[in-house]
Homo-oligomer: A and B are copies of this chain.
């Protein structure tokens, strides 16, 4: 086979996942191993090299066809220079990852941040296949985002493009402070953390809700399950998360005008119950030309989005 292949690396604090993709974004196979962060930066980078070579053994025809290795990393990166400035969960500080990994692997290497890479994965090999312009939301602890225009990930002037969780969007009277220091960011209501906070507030306020009887700490899944089961307080919380997601998409629609919004992360598992409400708000707040034909769909790749997107860095970033 002579088709170019691409390796993607999802570098997490405890595990490293590696995957092999073809030029269409199909994930051919994956492999993984421990990060061993306690060993320091060089040990982590050596581990990555080992796992990549276990995934595709050097000397094989497949290895010869590998055009590059992309790595997705949580942290503050200097993307053009390939340096990890700082990472909260990894022993990296001012480490020139691209240069070191190119020496260890003997293939071109690119890095990018984990949220961008996951968005690129969905766009390239998941729910955004064959869509040139799409915007991805990841609803987890925070709200992450990534924007693909003309088939390419956009990064902006300081890598902050697609930081959709920090859209200042909640009405002033209801706004609370975000972890970033600003008031009313989208992720204060539409992340798992935001949903849990609203649920705890409701319980503490004494609202009549089944959430009062949850043993241990309330999770976002508890709230979503209660809403599906007809609990009105839980439904109001999920509706509020959906309202601001839809409103943020209306804003994004007149800025970059995507053809599709892709929503992933734990909260997106609420499914049609959540998506129907997001679509209703989006339709109400978006002008016709930016609204007609725009789809709001669930992400497809789950935990594989990171490796697929990292592999895609060579074609789409």
> Interface readout for A145-189 with B: 1 if CB under 8 Å, 0 if not?
001011000111111111110111101100000001110000000
Shortest distance between the CB of A81 and any CB in chain B (Å): 16
In angstroms, how far is the closest chain B Cβ from the Cβ of A290? 4
In the bound complex, do residue B290 and residue A163 qualify as a contact, i.e. CB atoms below 8 Å apart? yes
**Which listed residue (B255, B289, B293) contacts A162, Cβ 8 A?**
B255
> Please, which residues of chain B bring their CB within 8 A of the CB of A252?
255
Copies of this protein, total: 2
A49: interface (CB < 8 Å): no
Chain A residues within 8 Å of B, Cβ to Cβ: 132-133, 147, 149-150, 154-164, 166-169, 171-172, 180-182, 247, 250-259, 285-287, 289-290, 292-294
Return A206 CB to nearest CB of chain B, in Å: 28
Q: Which residues of B contact A149 (CB under 8 A)?
A: 149, 154, 156
Task: Across the A-B interface, give the 5 residue pairs with the lowest CB-CB distance, nearest first.
Answer: A156-B257, A157-B259, A160-B290, A161-B257, A160-B257
Q: Residues of B contacting A160 with CB < 8 Å?
A: 253-254, 257, 287, 289-290
Provide the bound-state CA to CA distance between A168 and B250, in Å: 8
Give the Cβ gap from A280 to chain B, nearest Cβ, in Å: 14
CB distance A255 to B287 under 8 Å? no
A167 touches B287 (CB 8 A): no
Q: Give A154 to B154 CA distance when docked, in angstroms.
A: 11
* The residue from B132, B166, B287, B293 contacting A254, defined by CB atoms under 8 A apart: B166
Residue of B nearest to A257 (CB): B156
